[in-house]
Amino acid sequence: MGEISRREVVAAGTFLSLPVLFGGQAFAGLRPGGSQPATAPQGNAVAPREQLLFDFGWKFAFGHGSDPAKDFGFGLDQGDFAKTGDFKFAKIGFDDSAWRTLDLPHDWAVELPFVKDDTQTGDSLLRSHGYKPLGRRYPQTSVGWYRRAFDIPAADLGRQVWIEFDGAFRDVMVFVNGAFIGRNANGYAPFRFDLTDFLDYGGKNVIVLRVDASFGDGWFYEGAGVYRHVWLVKSDAVHLGRWDSTVRPALNGSSASLALDTIVENHEPNAVTAKVVWTIRDAAGASVAAAQSPDRLIPSGGTTAFHVAAALANPRLWSPEDPNLYTAVVTVETGDKRRDGEEIAFGVRTAVFDADKGFFLNGQPLKIQGTCNHQDHAGVGAALPDALQIYRLSILREMGCNAVRTSHNMPTPEWVEACDRMGVMMMCETRLMSSNLEGAQQLELMVKRYRNSPSIIIWSIGNEEWQLQDKMAEQGAKIAATMVQACHQLDPTRPVTMAVNGDNEKGVSEPIDVIGFNYNEGFPDAFHKRHPLRPIVGSETSSAISTRGEYVSDPKRNIINSYDGVVEWGKTPEDWWKFYGTREWLAGGFAWTGFDYRGEPTPYGWPSISSQFGIVDMCGFPKDYFYYYTAWWRKEPSLHVFPHWNWEGKEGHEVSVWVYSNLEEVELYLNGRSLGRQAVPHLGHVQWKVLYEPGTLEARGYKDGKTVLSEKRETTGPAVSLRLSADRTTIAANGEDVSLIKVEALDRKGRAVPTANSALVFNVYGAGKLIGVGNGDPNCQEADKVPKRSLFNGLAQVIVQSATRPGKILIEAAGAGEFGHTLHSARLALTAKAATLRPRV
């Protein structure tokens, strides 16, 4: 489109509601993506929609990518698909007794060993995905089979029944009762299949999934298997369209108008006349607005769109400080019967990208203080329990992060849910940048599913498409224009961007609404001068690298210092934020990355198995860079001194001491002696060169000449005991909730030992189980699913999941101390509290 004709690009949005599993309760029947079924009134003859969690009690076995004999005979000849209903592995009577039982979400890649390929090509291929043996060269570990029997009541006859997947990696074939149902071949977009005609109503049914992870979608760790939730959805023949209900608020002074739209489908043999009724509730559950459509005819096998409007008086706005939510209840009625309904939580807010002034939320200027994140975590790979999304986002919020980018794929619904409920803005990015059928479908699903979310302020159609930015610029402009147009048609309330690692002067950059720069800080100033009407955001910045708890770079050990590590194309936290945080016309930016992630080990290769880009490590333990952001992204007084003060054998040697603080001055003391006071530069840090001697290092921060904060680093003794602490000591006994256990080593005075690397073993007893371990070491190749792990620089993590019965969960940690010292074990008790289970199969 060339120059954008206006300085402001406006985004106004609403919100989709997802399950809340925490505090011991869950919204009954709630379906991620905003389709919680509305409760049918008493006396209603029509069964309400059911959305049943289909995660529990699956059987799993490895197949084979090239040998049919090891793939349960699948593909033994070319006649497999000749007749419907012939697949014996998907029928009652098939022997799956040798298959292991597990629950979803499940990522089998994280269970595999690490593999080094000594060939240059092989090393490159495995390296980016975390050295896991996946791909066509590893057929024995690249195909997995899932199998489950389930009952369908006779009363369901006449209803529509669907199997819905939030995402699976990657090529999934679905079979039910011996019949092939369908296939999906991408790792991030949701998909579903209609099972209505294939079920045995009143009898036992069998579903089988063949999941092939031989191909990937990205160049980073992506996992393998059914790593997101699965649902069995039952609805009336007359029902709301999937993700077709939208609530679009528009602020007008002290009120907000609500455009309420939906589509109703009719699968009955005859046309029906129906109406749609909307009720709007506030956060307390009080009804604050209502609307009803006139009756409209819906043809048999067809759809009809319904539009009404309502108004909210004095709406309470959604913001990071106050992520207030309303709920819209939409129902379909024919005569006096309710046929279907759902609840959609939404927020009211405005978002504007301005070419002169940056970004505005609800009319107030706000710098985007963002991070890019992949979706894996220590111990569980890509199969994150819902509570872990909350944990991860809480850590990012703690350092002042107010926005995330879903690099580089459609996010899981629970990540969006966490952002909506916790007040964190989002750049929502699709995986495949293409206007071909697959790319268009992925984009459509993403926008339709999440277009009601208030946290999403902008869509991203791609990342660093070198060919489309340069050699194929003409084609790139056309592809991008088609994708931008699709976004605008599906969601006219938000702008569209793309993450470009170039000058943004051609190709894909031409049609987008907000220019996204990846790195290359030499380009934005010149671009802004040439194109003063185009808003700009830092779509990917920094790429600072560091190893938690390490202060001397050592290529022989694959570690990076925590002061100023950075890749050749990147910037330190200070350097990038001094650029984006001081130019009024820049909206802000997204640092690469919030969390360390598997794959892309940079700057080293084997034995490194994860990146070192994270501001926190793979467990969520903060690196020192974390505290730079805390100082300059938050308003509260902040002070952090580093490194640790355990440097045995370095007495008399010079140690660099840094302090991150937003106070006016900092004074450093060593064993009570002042080493000088320094003024803190804006968006910077202060540092000293200190001759090491054991004892106490202390930093004191001053404002107006008065001490506001102080922090000490003490030379500790050797580790003699362990300490366990949990992010939550009470979790829901629903078979889904988790607690994150931090493991620390302590000396005789109870001080954390920052250099401890003892090997530990764990036991979990009672109403829970261990589902993963980690320590944040980018070079650690210990298994993630066994009850043992070494500390890394004093820390490790255990992830414990509840059972469905209430009771106590006891975690025990033990290990051998270092240098011949005994390491006393530690115990921690959690409570699994009785909870309402989400409706499930």
Catalytic residue numbers, as ranges: 464, 540
In a 10 Å sphere around its CB, with 0-12 CB exposed, 13-18 middle and 19+ buried, how is residue 422 labelled?
middle
CA distances from 36 to 287, 346, 416, 739 (A): 18, 13, 16, 26
Amino acid at 271: A
Residue where the block lists tokens 């001080």: 751
Beta-carbon contacts of 228 under 8 Å, excluding residues fewer than 6 positions away, are 104, 105, 165, 166, 167, 168, 383, 412, 413
The SS3 call for residue 632 is: helix
- 625-633 and 573-580 helices cross at what angle (nearest 10)? 30
Peptide bond into 593 cis (omega under 30): yes
* Structural contact between residues 134 and 223, judged by C-beta atoms closer than 8 angstroms: no
* Structural contact between residues 193 and 182, judged by C-beta atoms closer than 8 angstroms: yes
**Helix spans in 572-634 (H):** 573-580, 625-633
* Structural contact between residues 700 and 770, judged by C-beta atoms closer than 8 angstroms: no
Q: DSSP class of residue 317?
A: P
Peptide bond into 778 cis (omega under 30): no
* Structural contact between residues 499 and 540, judged by C-beta atoms closer than 8 angstroms: yes
**Helix spans in 595-725 (H):** 625-633
Beta partners for residue 610, in sequence order: 598
* Structural contact between residues 671 and 695, judged by C-beta atoms closer than 8 angstroms: yes
Peptide bond into 6 cis (omega under 30): no
Structure-block tokens of residue 98: 């040798």
Alpha carbons 662 and 647: distance in angstroms, whole number? 28
Alpha carbons 168 and 274: distance in angstroms, whole number? 36
Beta-carbon contacts of 460 under 8 Å, excluding residues fewer than 6 positions away, are 405, 427, 428, 429, 430, 496, 497, 498, 499, 516, 539
The SS3 call for residue 217 is: coil
Residue where the block lists tokens 């996010």: 411
In a 10 Å sphere around its CB, with 0-12 CB exposed, 13-18 middle and 19+ buried, how is residue 671 labelled?
exposed
The SS3 call for residue 752 is: strand
* Structural contact between residues 498 and 460, judged by C-beta atoms closer than 8 angstroms: yes
Alpha carbons 808 and 811: distance in angstroms, whole number? 10
**Helix spans in 399-522 (H):** 413-422, 437-450, 466-469, 473-490
For 8-42, give one letter per residue: b (16+ CB within 10 A) or e: ebbbbbbbbbbbebbebebbebbbbbbbbbbebee
DSSP H or E stretch at residue 525: helix 524-530
Alpha carbons 211 and 429: distance in angstroms, whole number? 24
Alpha carbons 168 and 143: distance in angstroms, whole number? 12
506: left (phi over 0), alpha (psi -120 to 50) or beta: beta
The SS3 call for residue 715 is: coil
The SS3 call for residue 445 is: helix
